[in-house]
Amino acid sequence: MCDFNKGFILCTCEEKTNDYENSKENKKGDQVDEFQYVWELKRFIDFRRGDIMGIFEQPRSDLGSGLTSQFVVNQLNSKNCFDFDFIPNENDNLYFFKKKGYEVDDLFEFVFLNGKWKQGNILSWKYITEKEFDGKIKKDL
């Protein structure tokens, strides 16, 4: 299992977030035993028209392996954690989660507001967003 205590890199890996069970490397059809840490960035597009009900999910503070919400916010605001040149836009949403096959467990949500990353998100039932990037979360060497 990864240990992210020294930092992390948001990797736009070639295989992206496709699960191993269905990948080319898994020729025997083995079951996946470990979670992968993955991320997804969504960009604000426009405001939604009309009223839509939303769902409230209690925010998490720890995904394990050293990934706490405060640690992630500190890393995001102190350096470029992406494996490419990235400049966030106002209202960008960044999601961290653990994934095992198609099972998703735990979720962190971050939003870029007033020039800083903060825990939380823009209200998905009020705003239209579109997935811009995704990949795996890897430990920083």
**Average of per-residue pLDDT across 25-29:** 51
Secondary element (H or E) of residue 107: strand 103-113
The pLDDT assigned to 17 comes to 46
- Is residue 46 one of the residues assigned to a domain? yes
Res. 124: pLDDT tops 80: no
Tens digits of residue pLDDT in 45-99: 777 666 555 555 555 666 777 788 899 999 999 999 999 999 999 989 999 888 8
pTM of the model as a whole: 0.72
Q: Tell me the CA distances in angstroms from 34 to 31, 39, 100, 105, one per residue in order.
A: 9, 16, 6, 12
Spatial neighbors of 85 by CB under 8 A, at least 6 apart, are: none
- Is residue 113 one of the residues assigned to a domain? yes
Q: Tell me the CA distances in angstroms from 108 to 15, 27, 126, one per residue in order.
A: 22, 32, 19
Q: Which residue has the higher pLDDT, 60 or 5?
A: 5
- Is residue 124 one of the residues assigned to a domain? yes
What's the one-letter identity of residue 16?
Answer: K
Q: Which residue has the higher pLDDT, 28 or 109?
A: 109
Q: How far apart are CA 135 and CA 131, in angstroms?
A: 11
Q: Is 21 helix (H, G, I), strand (E, B) or coil?
A: helix
- Is residue 4 one of the residues assigned to a domain? no
**Average of per-residue pLDDT across 96-121:** 85
Determine how many CB atoms are found less than 10 A away from the CB of residue 20. 17
Domain of residue 66, residue span: 36-51+59-136
- Is residue 94 one of the residues assigned to a domain? yes
- Is residue 45 one of the residues assigned to a domain? yes
Res. 42: pLDDT tops 70: yes
Number of domains in the chain: 1
The pLDDT assigned to 118 comes to 94
Q: Tell me the CA distances in angstroms from 90 to 44, 60, 102, 129, one per residue in order.
A: 8, 23, 30, 12
